[in-house]
Amino acid sequence: MSMKKLFLVLIALLPAVTIFSQDNIYKKNNQIINCKIIEIGLVEVKYIMPEKYKDVVMVIAKDDISKIKYENGEEQTFVNEMYNKNSYADNKINAIKFHVFSPLYDYLSVSYERSLKAGRSIEGTLGIIGIGYDPLKESPVGMFAKVGYKFIKSPDFYVRGMKYAHLLKGTYFKPEIAFSTYSVKNSIYNYGTNTSSTERQSVFSSACLLNVGKQWVFDNRFAVDFSIGLGYGLTNMPKNDYLGNSQFGFSIEPNSGLAITSNFKVAYLF
């Protein structure tokens, strides 16, 4: 091939090389835009398509883009601002919670919550039974534990640039499992001898609960959490036991198996 023909071939291939070397915008609907990126802003990307619209600047929202592949081969991905972890870099994601009214029901309970990502967190609770007010003089001794996964409600409609006010703030739905094991004093009356004696009765209970609640965060340092929950539970407590339905941290109605819980907690964030 002569030098002249080789030169003509290179000239013919030049437009294809130019197109190939352009930037590519990959939209979330799988469309690819061949263009030249000129600006990436906080909420939008500006580009031109010189082979189609000379001197016309096009704009696309960053929320509509999955990634950009630049002409040098580098790639940049984009995440919705609401679920971008960089949007919450200053949020404290851990919380230690104290169950304010737990000593009134003869137990002491604390919870730990950790944000996993925007709209999701996990929470565990540990309670020591027998610390607090004991009006029935049953001297309970034991412990209970709970663990749940939080789904924090997102807005009903989305505006570009919107994000959670705080990772741990908002209305939530929390499936939860709970266990308790304890012993209490139980008086047994012997009708034959017309005498009574006291022995300790061991109780084990478990429940699956569906909670709804709301958590408020103040100054990225403190929080208040209120929730109620319903579900089903199992217990070895006799159905006609006078001790009642409280399993310390949740309650079970022995005849139906209905489980219920309610919580009011204050928290310190770190």
Q: pLDDT tens digit string along 128-158?
A: 998 988 876 778 899 999 999 999 998 777 6
Distance separating alpha carbons of residues 40 and 258, to the nearest angstrom: 56
CATH of the domain at 228: 2.40.160.20
Verify that 69 and 99 share a domain, yes or no: no
Verify that 138 and 51 share a domain, yes or no: no
Assigned domain for 245 exists: yes
Question: Is residue 110 within 8 Å of 61, Cβ to Cβ?
Answer: no
Report the domain count for the chain: 2
Residue type, 103: P
Verify that 69 and 198 share a domain, yes or no: no
Strands (E), 101-221: 107-117, 120-129, 141-152, 170-190, 195-218
Over 50: is that where the pLDDT of 20 sits? no
Verify that 120 and 238 share a domain, yes or no: yes
Verify that 40 and 97 share a domain, yes or no: no
Q: Which domain holds residue 50?
A: 19-78
Higher pLDDT among residues 83 and 46, named by residue: 46
Verify that 53 and 72 share a domain, yes or no: yes
The pTM of this model reads 0.76
Question: Is residue 28 within 8 Å of 64, Cβ to Cβ?
Answer: yes
Over 60: is that where the pLDDT of 15 sits? no
Verify that 211 and 264 share a domain, yes or no: yes
Verify that 175 and 100 share a domain, yes or no: yes
Verify that 96 and 29 share a domain, yes or no: no
Verify that 129 and 185 share a domain, yes or no: yes
At 179-202, the pLDDT tens digits run: 999 988 776 666 666 666 677 888
Assigned domain for 8 exists: no
Mean pLDDT taken over the chain:
86
Assigned domain for 105 exists: yes
% of the chain surpassing 90 pLDDT: 54
How would you class 195 by CB atoms within 10 Å of its CB: exposed for 0-12, middle for 13-18, buried for 19 or more?
exposed
Verify that 142 and 192 share a domain, yes or no: yes
Assigned domain for 213 exists: yes
Verify that 226 and 107 share a domain, yes or no: yes
Distance separating alpha carbons of residues 183 and 185, to the nearest angstrom: 7
CATH of the domain at 57: 2.30.30.100
Q: How many CA atoms lie within 13 A of 58 on its CB side?
A: 15
Assigned domain for 64 exists: yes
Structure tokens at 125: 């609770």
Q: Which residues contact 251 (CB under 8 A, 6 or more apart)?
A: 245, 259, 260, 261
How would you class 186 by CB atoms within 10 Å of its CB: exposed for 0-12, middle for 13-18, buried for 19 or more?
middle
Distance separating alpha carbons of residues 152 and 142, to the nearest angstrom: 32
User: What is the sign, positive or negative, of the torsion defined by CA atoms of 221, 224, 228, 232?
Assistant: positive
CA distances in angstroms from 213 to 57, 170, 220, listed in the order given: 48, 8, 19
Lowest-confidence pick of 52-56, 57-61, 205-209, 255-259:
52-56
Assigned domain for 83 exists: no
Assigned domain for 6 exists: no
